[in-house]
Chain A
């Protein structure tokens, strides 16, 4: 009995003293007082010092893209720190190029607010919000690809440019022990305000896609934040639009096409879509409707693994082949590409060879 008492008392006293010391330290040593963050030279925020820049910005409802939850493993959370931020940390270096170093680019999840800071972020990020969405429907497009419709709460809406993406949070579930955020392009029209559509492909072993494909059910709620991205419809010139996508890369292109339909934009557009077999094509009825509704739009699917039994009369081979065939002159063309990094690099090669200017090639690498 006595042993039990002494043991309990000692452990309690010991942890108590340490807890007291730590709290005291947190109040004194860890207390940096209030700091001021000036963003883009005009907006000023007062935050509690000592936290990471990312966390401080989130507490002010400013969302910097971040896919790893601030662990310094995704490299998405870059911001320009003009004043106050201390030296660049070793944990940031793997993500920051030499040019960016010159430009004072930092990872906001690593850099802490210990003095007043001046930072620069893209103006659009002020537009980014967090939303809790209800899964209205989940539809199979192909065995590997699902379309999700997420509905906003009453009174909430998102304002995005066609082509932009949101980040979806995959929570902890059986087989996944960390929360992750992944980017998904919005496939629905910007004019639609009460829901968004996402087109999500399955990646074997993927954290977010396994969640979406195997766990998520209609009626569930999911957290998203957005919009993000500098890949969107460009209205500077009236060029012919060359759109190229494979698989789920169709999502942002659809949003752009809907936008053109809703705003009655009279531009020539060609959409080259790459897939393996006819079974990999989806949303064909939607696209057919767009072909009718749009001013001058044509869908050119290109299949790389057709068999005789498919009776396929369209283009064959990789998209590069059909681009090579259809694009005769480079003048007055601009390109929108979406898909895997490999596909994008090879398409950029074909297009620049054709003479299309690199600054008129816009892309999102998935």
Chain B
């Protein structure tokens, strides 16, 4: 177990170990839904929300069920199933009891069931042997980092909307190039802390 303050992990997950810019995880919704700032923000919030809860959930499942039974290798399949079920359940609850929340981020929930950043966070948590609080910091931080990345991308894309691009670069092409450039910029943060 590494001795790191959960807060350090929290900040690291936002800046130095950003899910998008360091690991390129969660790319499909990142590219698909980064056209406009309000929608990206909604999606980002949904991702943060789900990440926070699935990290807790998967931490409990892993340490209370899988480890005692010696079934650590099942974590991939178990995490995927628990995330999918959790998102479904969450969507139903939010839709029924929190109409305002539903209008803000509920409609994005189905989009992120299969977001690999979410599985990624749960797996990193296991690989890096985080404690409960460290995992929590990592989960929340990764969500905020992901939100930051997609909102920044949406901002950039809104600006270039009316610029003429070479035909082949329109849409995903230019988005990936911009992601690359942003990732380079984020490397600038990497000296601050190292969490692995």
Contacts and interface: CB of A to CB of B under 8 A. Distances in A.
Interface in B69-95: 69-71, 74, 77-78, 81-82, 85, 88-89, 92-93, 95
Contacts of B96: 29-30
A86 B81 contact: no
B124 interface: no
Interface string A1-22: 0000011001100110010011
B74 A11 contact: yes
Interface string B89-109: 100110111010001000100
B39 interface: yes
Contacts of B44: none
Given A26-B92, A89-B107, A90-B39, A10 B74 contact: yes
A22 B78 contact: no
Given A22-B85, A25-B92, A26-B92, A7 B71 contact: yes
A10 B103 contact: no
Interface string A75-99: 0000000000011011100000000
Interface residues of A, number: 20
A14 B69 contact: no
Interface size class of B (residues with CB under 8 A): 20 to 34
Interface in B23-71: 38-39, 42, 65, 69-71
Contacts of A29: 92-93, 96-97
B92 A10 contact: no
Contacts of B97: 29
Interface of B: 38-39, 42, 65, 69-71, 74, 77-78, 81-82, 85, 88-89, 92-93, 95-97, 99, 103, 107
B92 A6 contact: no
Interface in A14-73: 14-15, 18, 21-22, 25-26, 29-30
B85 A11 contact: no
Given A14-B78, A25-B92, 11 more contacts: A6-B71, A7-B71, A10-B71, A14-B81, A14-B82, A22-B88, A29-B92, A29-B97, A89-B107, A90-B42, A112-B95
A15 B70 CA distance: 18
A86 B92 CA distance: 16
Nearest to A50: B95
Interface in A109-152: 110, 112
B81 A15 contact: yes
Interface of A: 6-7, 10-11, 14-15, 18, 21-22, 25-26, 29-30, 86-87, 89-91, 110, 112
A262 to B, nearest CB: 48
Contacts, number: 49
B81 to A, nearest CB: 6
A94 to B, nearest CB: 9
A18 B81 contact: yes
Contact of B103 (A11, A22, A89): A89
A116 to B, nearest CB: 16
Contact of B99 (A15, A86, A91): A86
A22 to B, nearest CB: 6
A11 B61 CA distance: 12
B169 to A, nearest CB: 19
Contacts of A21: 85, 89
Nearest to B86: A18
Nearest to B97: A29
B99 A10 contact: no
Contacts of A11: 74, 77-78
A136 to B, nearest CB: 41
Contacts of B78: 11, 14
A148 B55 CA distance: 56
12 contacts: A6-B71, A7-B71, A7-B74, A10-B65, A10-B69, A11-B77, A11-B78, A22-B89, A25-B93, A29-B93, A90-B39, A90-B107
A179 B99 CA distance: 31
Q: Which 5 A-B pairs have the closest CB atoms?
A: A18-B85, A29-B92, A30-B92, A29-B96, A25-B92
Contacts of A87: 103
A242 to B, nearest CB: 37
A189 B65 CA distance: 70
Given A22-B89, A86-B99, A91 B74 contact: no
Given A11-B78, A18-B82, A86 B103 contact: yes
